[in-house]
Chain A
Amino acid sequence: MTTLGLEAVRRPGTVLGWATIIGIVAFVAFPIAVLAWSLVDPSTNVWAELWRTRLPGMIIDTVTLLLAVVLGAVILGTGLAWLVSAHAFRGRRIIGWLLVTPLAIPGYVGGFVWLDTLSSVVGARGVRSLWLCAAVLVLSLYPYVYLFARAAFADQGADTLAAARSLGASPIATFFKVSLPAARPSIAAGAALVAMEVLTDIGTVRLFNVSTIADGVMRVWFGTGDRGAATELAGALTGAALVLIAIERLSRRGVRRSRRAAEATMTPRVLSLPAQTFAIATSVVVLAIAVGVPLVRLVGWSVESVRNNTAVTVAGGVGHHAFNTLLMTALAAVVCIVLGIVLAIMVAHRGRVAHALGRLSTVGYAMPGPVVAVGAVVTLAAIDRRSWLPDGFLLVGSVAGLVFALVVRFFAVGYQGVEASLDRVPPAAVESARVLGAGPLRTSLSVELPAARFGILAAAALLSVDIIKELPITLLLRPFGVDTLSVWVWQATSESLWAQAAVPSLIMVAVGMVAVGALLVALERGAEVIS
């Protein structure tokens, strides 16, 4: 098979391929579909009541928060990425790394730290504001934009920028007229992740009394016991998220690697001493606020709770919780990545329908965690009732059940990461392999996957950061005696025992930092491989 015509791409004999695509998508989207079933028979009276009471406020709060956080994260993330990517100053490399670390601090941990810290400054009333909530979310989510923007800037060719400069463009004009437009799709991808996190957040918004739609889903569900209405509301939320994904996709359309393989990457501009000081000071301030303050408070509380002997829970010590967090994260991440690779490869050469199916698999990421948790319980329990598994084995409350639900929730992060890194493999390499007679699958396995390995590792790390922080699914589906760090944090914070929550929070941040470290290594190596 040496032609690269249409026949080659749309080869017959792909029943197995389609079956795999449909199988994986059904696997990860089924729990959502189960809940979506209630949409067939809409509960109009609840909607009428919602319209009359809370829904307009919820929509306003959700949209305001979303815009504020996305805008904040884009400005902060892109700005810092440009600062680090395009400029040479002392400590640039280490600062470049450290700026990713806020990712390891969950929004709800940053939330209670800032709530407590700022209460003494602006008062308990002043601290409960949408804008502070947005600020806390920006600080924990901007690294998504930062990472994508840095990757995009790193990919911009030196020649292009030099051309702009030689035509008399100032550094600032070069940024706005050349670099920023070229990096826009990547920034949009980061912003889409930020938007998803904001839309599905419950822990942080509740701390600051922000009534978003995700919060409303829980309110309707657990307040009135009306699962149908809650699901419909969640469905509306997912619809909004899917629109965001579509916008992000559209903005990516037609954009391919702008730099030729042989072209060198941009050379950072050496800054003058005052400018260096400014660059370093800016980064240090951001880091101090995003990471420094939370760490200082957590360490202080930890010391206090260790002294008062309240740091240990009965269900095993620190090791037990940390081990379970690591185990669940590793299992769920591996399943996500493996399924993600299979799906991405199967979808890659199959046109629009396959791509649309692929999109469908990401729906769990657009749902609030508790909704996915209950969807997974309903699905798994239905399987359990049919006694398909031997020895009376039950999926609900098993490690497999928990891992499944986590995969449903976070599959999108793995899948999109894998897909993006496969996209970035130089087309020339793929074409050569095909010309030399390798079929699409063989090309994928022996050319694309190895070339994309660091991108895939980065996706796995990004995914792990998310799973480490996850709470509602783990809480509802964990097996007996399997407690994770996030469960421990919840047990303390649900009683407002901030000091007692500090030790597990601190360890969770440490574990998250390891994942962030892996992410950074993967990105560095990945950049080398690509360039």
Chain B
Amino acid sequence: MPQNSVLKKTLTALSLTAFVSGLAACGGSNNTADGTSTVTVYTGRHYGIETVFEEFTAETGIEVRFTTGSDPELRERLAAEGANTPADLVMTADAANIALAAEAGLLSPVDSEILTGAIPEALRAADNTWFSLSRRLRVIMTSSERVTTPPTTYAEVGDPQWKGRLCLRPSTHPYTQSLVAGLINTVGADTTRTIVDSWVANDPLYINSDTDILKAIQAGDCDVALANHYYLGRLLGETPNFPVTITWPEQSGVGAHLNVSAAAVTANAPNRAAAVKLLEWLVSKGQKTFSDANNEYPADPTVEPGEIIAGFGTFKSDEASVRELGRRNAEAVTLLSEAKYE
């Protein structure tokens, strides 16, 4: 059957063509020929980063190309790529994820006086594999209209008077996990469990968005909530009279739960020099723009915070836990599950 064999070949060729044409479609390969002029960033933080990168490029001539995504998925990608990774710099929206990347050997230490001079010791890895860029606080938010004496500690959020009036973020979110990891680090697992149990006993309304949590307070769906401070900053920027009051928790104790957005040079950075340059720029000239873009407090304590959040006043925060958040994360997730926190 000569004709049949021709047809068979055609079909096989067809299946090969499908594969090869898929390959050929990648005309725009990403390898930069000129290794010195482009720095590649994987970032789990994507709110307002473009401005910072543009300023960096304008000043140094180094182009920044970046891809956004969720922190853990980008970490999986970085791990899978190994020595082939195009990523020079990794940025995360939370301390746990950068610490987990460091633990997985995906990052490399940077020895730089600019970095160690700007960033306090507690806000960088002990071996300088990662550095905080900005600070974000998980604070107590209450209705300005309906709550006269807000809770002042995380434990008080579990006070029965807030039953049915509490809004929390689900435990799928890193912010909740890190908060609980921080509590475990400061008061131990048993006390943390008691605190989380008391929150759950208050029948909280779980909302998977800090912005929507604050809007829920405004709408009267809850009176008390835990949220990151900058979401209120953002809403106040749009609506100056937004009816939510911020309370700094644990001010007579270890201070408010502190998380950071952080960055690190990857272990296999193709353009390490440019990555270090960008990192140094982010903690120096870029500090203010970077932090202000998202209403966060600069990691460098000598840099002034933006106007809106400066209005939140001074506060004490739990710096000592920042490095431990990654290590405690799995424990926190288990504790949250056992407490039936949604």
Contact = CB atoms under 8 A, between A and B. Distances in A.
Interface of A: 1, 16-17, 20, 23-24, 27, 49-50, 52-54, 119-120, 123-125, 128, 206-207, 209, 211, 215, 218-219, 221-227, 314-315, 331, 334-335, 338-339, 342, 345-346, 370, 373-374, 377-378, 380-382, 384-385, 389, 391-394, 396-401, 403-404, 439, 441-442, 445, 472, 475-476, 478-482, 487, 491, 494-497
B172 A342 contact: no
B8 A17 contact: yes
Interface stretch (B136-144, B245-253, B334-342): B334-342
A123 B15 contact: no
A335 B18 contact: yes
Contacts of B287: none
A441 B3 CA distance: 10
Contacts of B22: 331, 335, 400, 403-404
B81 A124 contact: no
8 contacts: A16-B8, A226-B330, A374-B80, A393-B26, A396-B80, A441-B8, A441-B11, A476-B73
A377 B76 contact: yes
A398 B207 contact: no
Contacts of B210: 496
A345 B11 contact: yes
A392 B40 CA distance: 17
B77 A377 contact: yes
Contacts of A342: 11, 14-15, 18
A195 to B, nearest CB: 23
Nearest to B211: A496
A482 B29 CA distance: 12
A374 B28 contact: no
B81 A338 contact: no
Nearest to B66: A480
A394 B65 contact: no
Q: Report, nearest first, the 4 A-B pairs whose CB atoms are least far apart.
A: A381-B80, A124-B221, A223-B333, A222-B72
Given A398-B30, A400-B24, A475-B69, 5 more contacts: A17-B8, A54-B337, A331-B25, A476-B77, A497-B211
Contacts of B19: 27, 335
A125 B167 CA distance: 10
Given A377-B76, A396-B77, A338 B337 contact: no
Nearest to B338: A53
Nearest to B339: A53
Given A128-B207, A480-B65, A396 B84 contact: yes
A381 B81 contact: yes
Nearest to B104: A225
Contacts of A382: 80
A126 B31 CA distance: 51
Given A54-B337, A207-B208, A442-B3, A480 B100 contact: no
A403 B25 contact: yes
A480 B170 CA distance: 32
Given A397-B30, A475-B69, A223 B8 contact: no
B235 to A, nearest CB: 11
B81 to A, nearest CB: 5
A255 B79 CA distance: 49
Interface in B112-135: none
B331 to A, nearest CB: 9
B83 interface: yes
B320 to A, nearest CB: 23
B73 A370 contact: yes
A124 B80 CA distance: 40
A54 B221 CA distance: 26
Contacts of B170: 206, 209
A320 to B, nearest CB: 13
Given A52-B338, A480-B40, A385 B216 contact: no
B67 A478 contact: yes
A400 B1 CA distance: 36
A49 B337 contact: yes
B29 A24 contact: no
A510 B1 CA distance: 49
Interface residues of B, number: 70
Contacts of B212: 124, 496
B30 to A, nearest CB: 5
B46 A481 contact: no
A441 B26 CA distance: 32
Contacts of A441: 4, 7-8, 11
B25 A339 contact: no
A118 B94 CA distance: 32
B208 A392 contact: no
A491 B25 contact: no
B206 A381 contact: no
Given A125-B221, A128-B207, A399-B28, A219 B172 contact: yes
A221 B221 contact: no
Contact of A381 (B84, B205, B216, B334): B84
Contacts of B82: 381, 385
A222 B329 CA distance: 10
Given A119-B219, A209-B170, A223-B172, A394 B4 contact: no
B23 interface: yes
Interface string B201-226: 00001111111100010010110000
Contacts of B29: 391, 393-394, 398
A480 B30 contact: yes
Given A331-B22, A385-B84, A403-B25, A495 B342 contact: no
B70 interface: yes
Given A24-B15, A223-B333, A394 B72 contact: no
B177 A479 contact: no
B253 to A, nearest CB: 27
A124 B207 contact: yes
Interface string B145-158: 00000000000000
A394 B86 contact: yes
B68 interface: yes
Contacts of B177: 223
B199 to A, nearest CB: 15
B330 A385 contact: no
Contact of A225 (B15, B27, B330, B342): B330
Interface string B258-298: 00000000000000000000000000000000000000000
Q: Choose among B8, B73, B212 the residue with the greatest number of A CB atoms under 10 Å from its CB.
A: B73
A491 B68 contact: yes
Contacts of B1: 1, 439
Contacts of A226: 330
Nearest to A345: B11
A480 B46 CA distance: 15
Nearest to A343: B15
B86 A397 contact: yes
Contact of B26 (A1, A221, A398, A445): A398
B42 to A, nearest CB: 10
Contacts of A374: 73, 76-77, 80
